């Protein structure tokens, strides 16, 4: 009997290539972002089918605020529309929506829709969809350090009590396991300020496909690639 395939508990995706896809197809950049909604659905279907428990999507980085205002506005509107339209189906599928990142910079409208989606899907137990919004790893770690400094200043934490576990517990991702597999589409081979602390022992895969062209079959290939990896976690086997 063949060994059962190893399934990652947590898959994280850097959804890269929307702008290049739009350029290749003679479209505006916001149309590339809109075309990236279906691959999110496909990834969710595949993740549920494989039994993945956590799927994190790098949806909007802190650096993305530096893009043209019209593009940022279009992204915010797309996010709101998508959350409203997709939440009922996600709830039906048993998918829980969560967010990492600093939501304070978003408009009241965006914060409202996100909070509603989190509330509506809170009972989901099949898969947790973690949206990284206004997120960057350096910002996350900075906020975690600021929190620990405040704890120390108020006498609730001593220097020798600060451990890797203490820091991890102050991160946005404290409630979730570290990613087992990180996928970045478009062929670019870097993490771009995404889950730098959590990615210490993650497997990395960089397919050439642009995000709007990413399909369930591509997700399946990521899973097959993960199954072939020999994870040592710094040890010798």
Q: For residue range 140-160, list pLDDT tens digits in order.
A: 999 999 999 999 999 999 999
Tell me, yes or no, whether 4 lies in a domain: no
Each residue's pLDDT tens digit, 73-85: 999 999 999 999 9
Residue bearing tokens 């509107």: 77
CATH for 119:
3.40.1180.10
Is 233 a domain residue?
no
Q: What value, to the nearest 5°, has the Cα angle with vertex 74 and ends 63 and 89?
A: 100
Picking from 194, 216, 219, 213, the residue whose alpha carbon sits closest to that of residue 36 is 213
| CA atoms of 191 and 183, how far apart (whole Å) | 9
Looking at every residue in the chain, the average pLDDT score rounds to 94
Q: How much is the pLDDT for 69? A: 92
Q: Is residue 235 part of a domain?
A: no
> Residue 166 falls within a domain, yes or no?
yes
Structure tokens at 223: 């899973």
- The residues annotated as belonging to the active site are 16, 64
- Rg over alpha carbons for the chain, rounded to the nearest Å, is 18
97, part of any domain? yes
Structurally, how many domains does the chain consist of?
A: 1
pLDDT of 2 strictly over 60: no
> Is 30 part of a structural domain of the chain?
yes
Strands 10-14 and 127-135: unpaired
| Residue 207 within any structural domain of the chain | yes
Structural domain harbouring 109: 10-228
Q: What is the pTM of this model?
A: 0.94
In a domain, 236, yes or no: no
* Residue 39 tokens, joined: 């691959």
The answer to whether 128 touches 95, Cβ cutoff 8 Å, is: yes
Cα–Cα distance for residue pair 40/157, rounded to 1 Å: 41
């Amino acid at each position: 009997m063949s060994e059962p395939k190893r399934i990652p508990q947590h898959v994280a995706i850097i959804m890269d290539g929307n702008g290049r896809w739009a350029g290749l197809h003679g479209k505006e950049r916001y149309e590339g972002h809109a075309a990236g909604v279906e691959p999110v659905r496909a990834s969710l279907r595949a993740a549920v089918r494989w039994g993945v428990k956590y799927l994190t999507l790098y949806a909007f980085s802190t650096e993305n605020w530096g893009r043209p205002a019209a593009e940022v506005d279009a992204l915010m509107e797309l996010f709101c529309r998508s959350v409203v339209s997709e939440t009922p189906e996600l709830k039906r599928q048993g998918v829980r929506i969560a967010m990492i990142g600093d939501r304070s910079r978003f408009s009241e409208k965006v914060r409202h829709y996100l909070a509603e989606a989190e509330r509506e899907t809170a009972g989901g137990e099949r898969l947790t969809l973690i949206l990284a919004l206004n997120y960057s790893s350096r910002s996350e770690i900075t906020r975690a350090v600021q929190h620990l400094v405040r704890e120390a200043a108020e006498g609730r934490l001593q220097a020798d009590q600060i451990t890797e576990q203490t820091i991890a517990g102050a991160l946005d991702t404290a409630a979730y396991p570290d990613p087992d597999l990180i996928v970045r589409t478009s062929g670019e081979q870097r993490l771009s300020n995404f889950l730098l602390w959590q990615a210490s022992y993650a497997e990395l895969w960089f397919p050439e496909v642009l995000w709007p062209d990413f399909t369930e079959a591509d997700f399946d290939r990521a899973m097959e690639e993960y199954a072939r990896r020999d994870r040592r976690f710094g040890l010798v086997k």
